[in-house]
Amino acid sequence: MKLSHLNIAPRLALGFGAVIALLMLQVGLSYAHMHSLADELSLIGADRYPKVAQAQRIKDGVNATAQRLCNLLLMTEPAAVAAERAGIVRSAADLDTAFGALEHLSAGEQDKSQLEVLQAGFVSQRQRFLAALDQQQPAQALAILLQDVRPAQLRYAERLDALIERQTKLMADDELSAEHETTVATTQLLALAAVAAALAAGIGVLISRSVTTPLARAVRLAERVADGDLSCKIESGGRDETARLLQALAAMNERLAALVRQVRDGAAAIATASAEIESGNLDLSARTEQQAGALEETASSMEELTSTVQQNADNARHANQLAVTASGVAERSGAVVVQVVDTMGAIQASSAKMADIISVIDGIAFQTNILALNAAVEAARAGEQGRGFAVVASEVRNLAHRSAAAAKEIKSLIGASQAQIDSGGSLAKQAGDTMQEVVACVRRVTGIMGEIQAASQEQRAGIEQINQAVTEMDSVTQQNAALVEQAAAASGALREQAAALATTIEVFKLDAAETPRPPRAVPAGRPRAAVLALA
């Protein structure tokens, strides 16, 4: 199987896996050797050395006890004897403790039984010696010390020395075995390290070559592309990442070549389109300037119209004030007419009363005349005696006639006055009704004038807004004119940049058999909006 058919990750996994397997084998062997060394060291530390230490402790305790027994024979002071006996007790306790610790160690059954016999014999002889001293028999105690205690001490010490010597030899053998184990482990580890290093080096060389060789090809391709050469062909037969990289670079090279072709054609089209845009922008700039002039004239006309509407609003406000004044005058005149009507009614009532009074006077004159006639008749009957009374009756009659005539004249005058008063009352009532209608009309006129004034105010505000909008349109149009000029300049710059871009694109080298396509010309009849379409 070729390495180029594997991805880089599996290659690295195989290489590192082999190295890791050797390392694991090395670690396993190291662990086995270390476990063996640990067992040997544990045996020395937990069994052999403690046995030697406890045996030496027992030996020292036996020797110390024997020495204290000898000292008891030489001492006479009670305090010294008591102190020495206390020391013997402590030595005996230490001896028992050390012997118990030695018994718990993994000693052989024969060693254990022999040591128990020797321990029991030494303790028994010590007790006999102390019993002889307690019985005040120093000679017997000396004999026991020389004949029994001393031989028991020597036998016990000899057996302990043999145990110590055997355990020491075993520790030396274990040390040699550990050194051999260390040597073997070191040799194996070095051999495995050398094999792992060689394998890692070989795998590293193979993997690096399988990766760096395609990468070097990719670098050379990238350098040629950076120099503008897009005519190179790339072939790759592998299936790994580097092969896919070369394939991607080949696709990139082809797409870049196609893009260069499109950019070359587009640059020519942009140059043509920018020239058309520049020409159109110049025409648009001229028309925009004309529109700005027309807007200025419109703004001036709107200002005049605003002044006229303002004057109309002022006149309407003045007329409204006059209408309000006329309405007040009409209302006051209506009130006066109402008072006149009321006065004419009162005069009419007074005339009616005067007519009644004249009728009463006329009745009185008529009765007076009748009485005067009766008096004249009676005076005529009386003769000469009644002549003076007849004269008086005649005068009374004349007076009654004149009163009746005057009453008739007054009645006729009052009748005429009554007719005139009735006519005046009717006219006053008609005048009052007319004044009420005048007041209502004046009020309607006042309302209409108020509406006219409000409408004039709204017209003035609307015209001011229109004037402001026209002013803003004028400003925007001027800004548009400036922007159009800038767009024309930008179109010229775009045309120059398109030419520079076309010059820059010439750096790229395409296939030798391929000839550059000329830029597609823009038809003369196409609208300017379509000029922006590239090839």
Look up residue 301 and give its amino acid: S
Distance CA 62, CA 394 (A): 212
Q: Same domain, yes or no, for 49 and 196?
A: yes
Q: What's the rounded mean pLDDT across residues 170-184? A: 84
H-only helix segments in 75-149 = 78-104, 109-134, 138-144
Q: Same domain, yes or no, for 349 and 439?
A: yes
Domain of residue 380 covers: 301-494
pLDDT in tens, 109-126: 566 777 778 888 888 888
Q: Given this model, what pLDDT does residue 265 score?
A: 79
Q: Given this model, what pLDDT does residue 337 score?
A: 66
Q: Given this model, what pLDDT does residue 104 score?
A: 65
Distance CA 456, CA 308 (A): 10
Domain-embedded: residue 430: yes
Lowest mean pLDDT among 144-148, 159-163, 250-254: 250-254
Q: Given this model, what pLDDT does residue 374 score?
A: 85
pLDDT in tens, 82-94: 888 888 888 777 7
pLDDT in tens, 444-482: 877 887 887 788 778 778 877 877 887 888 787 888 878
The domain boundary, picked from 185, 203, 220, lies at: 220
Q: Given this model, what pLDDT does residue 117 score?
A: 82
Of the two residues 78 and 330, the one the predictor is more confident about is 78
Decide if pLDDT at 531 tops 60: no
Q: Same domain, yes or no, for 207 and 327?
A: no
Domain-embedded: residue 341: yes
Domain-embedded: residue 145: yes
pLDDT in tens, 362-402: 788 788 888 877 887 887 887 777 777 778 878 887 887 78
The proportion of the chain whose per-residue pLDDT surpasses 90, expressed as a percent, equals: 0
Decide if pLDDT at 217 tops 60: yes
Q: Given this model, what pLDDT does residue 215 score?
A: 73
- Under the banding of pLDDT at 50, 70 and 90, the label for residue 526 is very low
Q: Are 445 and 323 contacting, i.e. CB atoms less than 8 angstroms apart?
A: yes
Distance CA 143, CA 149 (A): 9
Look up residue 515 and give its amino acid: T
CA distances for 374 relative to 129, 221, 378, 380, 403, angstroms:
217, 172, 6, 10, 18
Q: Are 260 and 230 contacting, i.e. CB atoms less than 8 angstroms apart?
A: yes
The domain boundary, picked from 220, 247, 270, lies at: 220
The domain boundary, picked from 220, 251, 277, lies at: 220
CA distances for 496 relative to 94, 378, 493, 517, angstroms:
113, 155, 5, 20
- DSSP E strands in 24-67: the ranges are none
Q: Given this model, what pLDDT does residue 139 score?
A: 85
Domain-embedded: residue 391: yes
Q: Same domain, yes or no, for 71 and 187?
A: yes
Lowest mean pLDDT among 93-107, 283-297, 350-364, 471-485: 93-107
- Under the banding of pLDDT at 50, 70 and 90, the label for residue 530 is very low
Q: Same domain, yes or no, for 439 and 324?
A: yes
Q: Same domain, yes or no, for 34 and 145?
A: yes
Q: What is the pTM of this model?
A: 0.32
Q: Given this model, what pLDDT does residue 532 score?
A: 33
- Under the banding of pLDDT at 50, 70 and 90, the label for residue 524 is very low
Domain-embedded: residue 273: no
Backbone angles phi, psi at 229, to 5 degrees: -90, 110
Q: Same domain, yes or no, for 472 and 328?
A: yes
Decide if pLDDT at 529 tops 50: no
Q: Given this model, what pLDDT does residue 434 score?
A: 82
Q: Same domain, yes or no, for 307 and 207?
A: no
Domain-embedded: residue 190: yes
Domain-embedded: residue 55: yes
Domain-embedded: residue 239: no
User: How high does pLDDT run on average in the chain?
Assistant: 77
Q: Same domain, yes or no, for 350 and 482?
A: yes
How many structural domains comprise the chain?
A: 2
Decide if pLDDT at 523 tops 60: no
